[in-house]
Amino acid sequence: MSERGHIELDRSVGSIVVGERHRRDPGDLTPLMDSLKRVGLLQPVTITPDGYLICGYRRLQAAKKLGWHTLRVWVRSGISDELTRLLAERDENTTHKPLAADEAAKLYAELRVLIDEDAQRRMRATQFGSKTDETAGQHGPADSAGPETCGLGDARRRAAEMVTGKASYARLEQILAMERVAADRDLPQHVRKVADVELAAIRNGGPVDPGYQRVMAAKSIAAMMAPGAEDELNEEAEKALQQAKADRRRRIQEKKRRREEEAANHKRSTRSFNLKWAEMDGWSKKYDVDQIAREIKPDDWALFLRVIDETKSFADAVALARESGDTPES
């Protein structure tokens, strides 16, 4: 048996322990299930000697869906501390289905702490004369040298590299900062709500930095407000909202007025003119003279006379234009 591990050909699926994992959704398993049915399990699932799953969560889930009772597994020795388990899970997640931004941030946070703790443990072991050979495989990664002594900045950088493959940790730290704001009950409710909204947007694929800036701005404004000023701020915000609505109504009314003026100045076609008077032809026969005389209001009668005068003036202008010879022959 290798000191690094050994193969078991028929490990019971039910004996494999799946602990707390950063990946919550295994994704679409259909292609993987099709592959397992077609060619079998080419890459064994990796577990610790006590049956704790390290690598192969999606393969295990696919096997369960297929109704398999046993699996070929690689039993990995020398994996006993939490850091190495997280590193193994990191390898599984980053080489198959990428973690969501918030999942990556949580894994990064745990790795950052554990890397720093591991470095401190190694430093103490060196100070007290512990032998390197005695601690190998117990306090560090099984596949690589253990972390060197490092400060918080180094721990952040190394943790970010492990999760994302890049040394930049700012984006992950921003997500963690927003989560702290969302969970801080000492902050005003509206600030925590901003954090919740921005985190939800990030989970749906939104950018991190703009959301982080909005959360920090809300937090800063809240910190500058005097006690009890939150109600005043909400009142001012409501006033601003009402003013914005009033401005919008005025803009709508102004646009409507301009459209009506443009419509009034727009010259319609001769066909429209003909249709208008074809519709009016014989109109007077549809009304009773005595009834109109009794019931029509003075303003309505004045309107009627004004339209008659306008119509007579228009008729005279058209007749004059026709007599001038500027009309087509009938």
- Per-residue pLDDT tens for 252-269? 888 888 888 877 777 778
Kindly indicate the confidence band of residue 103, based on its pLDDT and cuts at 50, 70 and 90: confident
pLDDT at 323 over 90: no
Query: For residue 256, what are the CA distances in angstroms to 100, 252, 264, 282?
Result: 49, 6, 12, 35
Task: For residues 71 and 10, give the distance between their C-alpha atoms in angstroms, rounded to a whole number.
Answer: 5
Query: DSSP string spanning 143-159?
Result: SSPPPPS--HHHHHHHH
Here the tokens at position 313 are 């003036």
| Nearest Cα to Cα of residue 26 among 109, 88, 98, 106 | 98
pLDDT at 67 over 90: yes
In CATH, 1-77 is 3.90.1530.10: yes
Order across the sheet with 5-12: list the strands.
5-12, 70-76, 45-47, 53-55
Task: For residues 114 and 229, give the distance between their C-alpha atoms in angstroms, rounded to a whole number.
Answer: 42
Here the tokens at position 5 are 């591990």
pLDDT at 36 over 50: yes
The mean per-residue pLDDT over the stretch 279-298 comes to 92
Specify the amino acid at residue 27. Answer: G
- pTM of the predicted model as reported, rounded to 2 decimal places: 0.39
The mean predicted confidence, pLDDT, of the chain is 76
Long-range interactions of 177-180: CB distance < 8 A, separation 24+: 177/212, 177/215, 177/216, 178/202, 178/211, 178/212, 178/215, 179/102, 179/105
Q: Longest C-alpha distance within the chain, in Å?
A: 123
Specify the amino acid at residue 11. Answer: R
Instruction: List pLDDT tens digits, range 105-124.
Output: 887 887 787 777 766 766 76
Please return the burial class of 33, using the count of CB atoms within 10 Å of its CB with bins 0-12, 13-18 and 19+: middle
The whole-number pLDDT of residue 327 equals 53
| Nearest Cα to Cα of residue 117 among 82, 142, 90 | 82
The whole-number pLDDT of residue 294 equals 93
Give the residue with greater pLDDT, 302 vs 51.
Answer: 302
Contact 164/95 with Cβ under 8 angstroms? no
Mean pLDDT check: name the lowest of 46-50, 64-68, 128-132, 166-170: 128-132
Phi-psi region of 279 (alpha: psi -120 to 50; beta: other; left: phi over 0): alpha
| Residue ranges with strand state E in the chain | 5-12, 45-47, 53-55, 70-76
Please return the burial class of 80, using the count of CB atoms within 10 Å of its CB with bins 0-12, 13-18 and 19+: middle
Domain ranges of the chain: 1-77, 170-224
Pairing of strands 45-47, 53-55: antiparallel
Give the residue with greater pLDDT, 15 vs 140.
Answer: 15
Instruction: List pLDDT tens digits, range 184-214.
Output: 988 888 888 889 988 988 888 888 888 899 8
Q: 133: which DSSP letter?
A: H
pLDDT at 244 over 90: no
pLDDT at 290 over 60: yes
The whole-number pLDDT of residue 136 equals 38
